[in-house]
Amino acid sequence: MDQPLPVPLTRRITGREWLAIDVVVAVLLLGSSVAAVATGHRGSDGSPGAGLDPLRYLAMGLACVPLPARRRRPWVVLACAVLGDAVLIGLGGRDPAHLAAGLAMYSAAAGAQARLPASAIGAAVSPLLLAAVVQGAGRTVQTLVFAPAVLVVGWLAGENTRARRSYAEGLAERAAEREREQARRAAADERARIARELHDVVAHTMSVVAVRSGVARAVMDSRPDEAAEALSIIETVSRRGLGELRRIVSVLRRADERGPAPPEDLAPAPGLRDLPSLVAEVGQAGVRVDLRVEGAERSLPPGQDLSAFRIAQEALTNVVRHAAPAAATLSVRYGLASVEIECVDDGGGRSRPPSSFDGGHGLPGMRERVALYGGDLSAGPWGAGFRVLARLPVTEETE
């Protein structure tokens, strides 16, 4: 598992504070180097004498003065520091100004997008080694070691900072990708849920409308009273279906607008308590339904209550679409930790084998609803008819 890194000190200091620190460091290095030259004695160890001190001061300034710009122009500052340091080494000095090259190398390595190539490090070290060889004094070996060591230490420190920054950015990117993936999955789940709701509402409503409109058309001339009753049923079912569609659309609008819902859109979602009215509607569509409730009837969690109702609705809608006129038995069984919904029809006016009813969205929608709560669903031919049996675990009870 990715472990977050503590926020480094370099991230807690502002840009102005860093600029002030770099100015102080540059002043200290330049001041101490100038003091070392001013109080030193040249010539006794083979180094050029005091006559070249102005050149030493210029080299110190070249190495130290650009330091405050090392975060914005690291390579320019590094070039100036290496050039100034090379001059100082060639003149036999080991002044504090040598540290400027190490700081500049640190900034170049830390600010790079990837590890610095060996050629870049060699290009920075070569002038210092050449200057040490040119010096030709007895301390050449010591200088040959000290000159590149400052740059190598600066490079190692900068590479460590760059690696830590890259790792932290990788952690942040992975965390952001996980959040995006969770958002995509949540959106996909929500789209699937809305699709199920729309399918259940529209399929049930349109099935009843189709059946009753066919009845009205068939008896319009011979039995106008029965045709009027069928049209009345169509009106009632259509209004109820439109009301549920408005509720679903209002949820979508609130998700986008983040505004309060109108009072008429806050009607409770349907549940098992609404099965009697559902059975009455299906009966008006030509399917006689015997509703049976077994066990201690109780309230279910809202999501499971809605899913149980939609499963029963879809099962009866399939009977209306494929078997009407027919008779069906709808059973609701309350257990200690689950509720079962079973719908069995007698085949009625079914015109094709029930095993062929697998091309729509009804059964997949029921399976998705059941799987959401860890339940199971079985659906298939049952004698001359069709049987749907769904079991939903009940994880908690609501009063």
- For every residue of 93-109, DSSP letters joined together read ---GGGHHHHHHHHHHH
The identity of residue 37, as a single letter, is V
Residue 85 pLDDT greater than 60, yes or no: yes
The identity of residue 128, as a single letter, is L
Output the CA torsion sign for 14, 19, 23, 29: positive
Predicted local distance difference test score (pLDDT) of residue 201: 63
Residue 346: pLDDT band (50, 70, 90) is confident
Higher pLDDT, 377 or 211: 377
348, 326 contact by CB (below 8 A): yes
Contacts of residue 2, Cβ cutoff 8 Å, sequence gap at least 6: 171, 174, 175
322, 354 contact by CB (below 8 A): yes
300, 339 contact by CB (below 8 A): yes
Residue 64 pLDDT greater than 60, yes or no: yes
Higher pLDDT, 379 or 269: 379
pTM (whole model) above 0.75: no
Domain with CATH 3.30.565.10 in the chain: 271-399
**Angstrom distance (rounded) from CA 14 to CA 11:** 8
3-state secondary structure of 375: coil
Predicted local distance difference test score (pLDDT) of residue 8: 52
> Strands of 326-334's sheet, edge to edge?
287-294, 326-334, 338-345, 385-393, 376-382
Contacts of residue 63, Cβ cutoff 8 Å, sequence gap at least 6: 29, 80, 81, 83, 84, 85, 88, 97, 98, 100, 101
**Which H or E element spans position 336?**
none
**Angstrom distance (rounded) from CA 78 to CA 4:** 33
Higher pLDDT, 218 or 310: 310
Output the CA torsion sign for 150, 151, 152, 153: positive
**Angstrom distance (rounded) from CA 98 to CA 102:** 7
**Angstrom distance (rounded) from CA 120 to CA 125:** 9
CATH of domain 271-399: 3.30.565.10
Q: Average the pLDDT over 201-206 and give the result.
A: 65
The identity of residue 39, as a single letter, is T
Residue 296: pLDDT band (50, 70, 90) is confident
Higher pLDDT, 224 or 163: 163
**Angstrom distance (rounded) from CA 19 to CA 257:** 46
Residue 37: pLDDT band (50, 70, 90) is confident
Q: Which residues pair with 333 in a beta bridge?
A: 294, 340
341, 312 contact by CB (below 8 A): yes
Provide long-range contacts, Cβ within 8 A and 24+ apart, for 81-86.
Answer: 82/124, 82/127, 82/128, 82/151, 83/59, 83/127, 84/59, 84/60, 85/59, 85/127, 85/128, 85/131, 85/147, 86/127, 86/128, 86/130, 86/131
Residue 300 pLDDT greater than 80, yes or no: yes
Predicted local distance difference test score (pLDDT) of residue 1: 44
**Angstrom distance (rounded) from CA 318 to CA 204:** 8
Backbone phi, psi, residue 208, to 5°: -65, -45
Taking each helix axis from N to C end, the angle separating 224-257 and 140-219, rounded to the nearest 10 degrees, works out to 160
Helices within the chain (DSSP H only):
9-12, 15-39, 53-64, 74-90, 99-110, 118-135, 140-219, 224-257, 275-284, 302-323, 362-372
